[in-house]
Structures are given as C-alpha cells and as structure tokens.
Amino acid sequence: MRRTCGGVTTGLAMAGISLALTAAPAKAQGPSIDDVRIVVRDTVKEVIRSAEAMRTARAYQGRSGPEQTERFSRKVRIARDGRVSISNISGDIVVSAGSGDEVSIEAVKHTRGGASELQSVHIEVTERGGGVDVRTDHTARNDRAWVDYTVTMPAGASITAHSVSGSVKVTGIRGSARVESVSGNVTAADTPKLEAAKSVSGSVTVSGVSTDGELAASSVSGNVAARSIKVRSLDLGSVSGDVTITDAACDRLSVKSTSGDVEYSGSINRGGTYEINAHSGDVRLTLSNPAGFVLTASSFSGSVRSDLPLTIGGDARDRDNRRGVGRHSMRATYGDGSATLNVRTFSGDIIVAKR
C-alpha cells in the first residue's frame, strides 16, 4: 500500500468521498446526506492538510533497477514518561516497548533510483523537553526514496506516529498514543491509553485499550476493527469498509458507516448512550447480559429483529408497496430501560442478539 502514488491515492480517496455523498437517496429513512457529510468532513480536512506531503511521496509502481539501501541507527535517552514523535513521508513505522530509558531508532533508506537519492533523504533526530522528535526530510524534488523505521522506546512514554504513505504499527506502549497514516494500514495493539488511530486509505485495527478517556478510530477506505476495548467514549467510522467492535465496554458509542456492515459485541452500561448510523450494510448487536435499554431502530429496506424479549413501544410498518420497498421501524424496551440504543440503516437488517 505504501508503494502507491500520492496523487493517485488522494484522487481515489476524494472520488470515494464524492460517490459516498451522492449515493444517499433524498428520502432515505436512515443516515441522511448530512450524516454522510459529517462522516467525511474531518477526513477531507486531513487530506487537504497532507496534500503538500503527498506531492513529495513518490510513485513506486513501474520502478526499475536494483534496490539500494542505507542504514541509520541512533539511541537517545529520554524520561521514562517522556514523549516520542515520528513523522515519515514514505515508508513503514513499527514501534514497540522496551525496558530502560532509551529510544532505539533503526531506519533503512531505500531507493531504486540513483545513489544520490539516498543522500537527499535526511533523518532528523531532535531532543527536546525530555522527549525526542524523529522526522524524515526529503531535500530533492521528486525523488523515489522511502524510509522504514523500527523504533523501541520506554513502555511508559507517549508516542505520536504518522506516515503519509506507509503502514504504522504500535505495540505495548503504556503512555498516550496517536497513530495515523494517509495511505497505509494502522495497527495499535496492547496500547491502554490509545487516543486516536486513523487512516485515509487503509484498514485500522486497535486492541487492548483501557482508559477513562476517549478513543477515536476511523478510515475513509478500509475496515475498522476494535477488540478488547474499555473506554468512557468510543467513536468509530468508515466511509467504505466494515466496522467491527468485539469485547467492548463503554458509556458512549458513536459509529458511522456509509458502505459496510457494523457489528458490536460487548456490554451495555446503565445510563449509556449508543448511536449507530449506517447507510448500506447490516447492523448486528450481540449484547452480554444487559440490564436494560430502550431501542429505537429503523431500516428503509431491511428488517428489525431481536433475540431478546422486547416490549414494543412504537410501531412496525410495511408500506410503499408500489415500489416494492419495505420500511421498518421499532421502538421497544428491554429490562430496566436504563440505556439508550439508537440504530439506523438505509439498506440492511438490524439484529439484536444475546451472547
């Protein structure tokens, strides 16, 4: 995925956004066109902010000639609760936890162009305020080089890692973490204080998060998967891809999907609020011994059904038979009705199951 032309990636992302915005029928009883715009609004801003960097990320399709490499190695001592920042233009970033108070930075420059291209790519390491900033600087215009990073850092330190064209993976970091890529997969595992994981073109996978704060994970073109999550607030979204949440507990859930299924498996907390808005896809909730909730569900061309015994408080209707389209909605209560579940999809079924 890293080897994709920045301009092509941006064009595909924007084309996907355009299609998503024009796909929703005006009379849809599900996510409105405003809902779809909300899903992609922040991502559009991110693409615009990254446009200049994307122009420097090179196309790797059709490369010729032997690959040339150059290695870089540096160790920096920081506070055990310090901060590490890594910013890359093109190439993968892999970060893992280590012991002690050192940051070990191992990098490999690659190119299939001339050796001079390796010399035009500089790895800048700046120590400041008990932390360290690592940045890739391309001084030549239109070079065809990329840099892969392997970083080991104190487990208790914080990490911010960003690549324009490349995958980013962070494992075992106990400090706060933010992980992002414009074109590449993003993975954060065993990162209890993860705050954000985002990609424009790539899948996002997060696991092992446990914090009293908020977690946001999103992709424009890719699946989003969250596993073993315990947070106060969980905000997930994908324009083109499935959203899957497994073994989760949160007080507030917000999920938005334009084209893809949504699955939530976990607990429902008393007094919690859970909002799921999908346009084209099924929504499945597999709940673990919920005390109770009020469910408001609607699907324009799908069914609403539950394995849990619900007390119906709204209505379920089939109409508009002239067009052969079923329109289904339900308001119902389970147990003590302490939590709120609002689920909408335009084209798909809504299923409530018991684990």
Q: What is the pLDDT along the chain (355 residues), one digit of tens a residue?
A: 334 344 434 444 444 444 343 344 434 444 454 554 544 455 445 444 444 444 444 443 334 568 899 999 999 999 989 999 999 999 999 999 998 899 999 999 999 888 889 999 999 999 988 899 999 999 988 888 999 999 999 999 999 999 999 999 999 999 999 999 999 999 999 999 999 999 999 999 999 999 999 999 999 999 999 999 999 999 999 999 999 999 999 999 999 999 999 999 999 999 999 999 999 999 999 999 899 999 999 998 899 999 999 998 744 443 333 332 334 788 999 999 999 999 999 999 999 998 8
The pLDDT, as a whole number, for residue 328 is 78
The pLDDT, as a whole number, for residue 314 is 46
Q: Name the 3-class secondary structure at 59.
A: coil
The pLDDT, as a whole number, for residue 329 is 86
The pLDDT, as a whole number, for residue 34 is 54
The CA distance from 273 to 251, in Å, is 6
Residue 92: how many other CB atoms lie within 10 Å: 22
pTM: 0.81
Dmax over Cα atoms in the chain, in whole Å? 72
Q: Name the 3-class secondary structure at 127.
A: strand
Alpha helices of the chain — where are they, by DSSP H?
A: 6-23, 33-49, 51-56, 115-119
Residue 68: how many other CB atoms lie within 10 Å: 15
Euclidean distance between the first and final Cα of the chain, in Å? 37
The pLDDT, as a whole number, for residue 264 is 98
Which residues lie closer than 8 Å to 67 by C-beta, 6 or more apart? Answer: 110, 111, 112
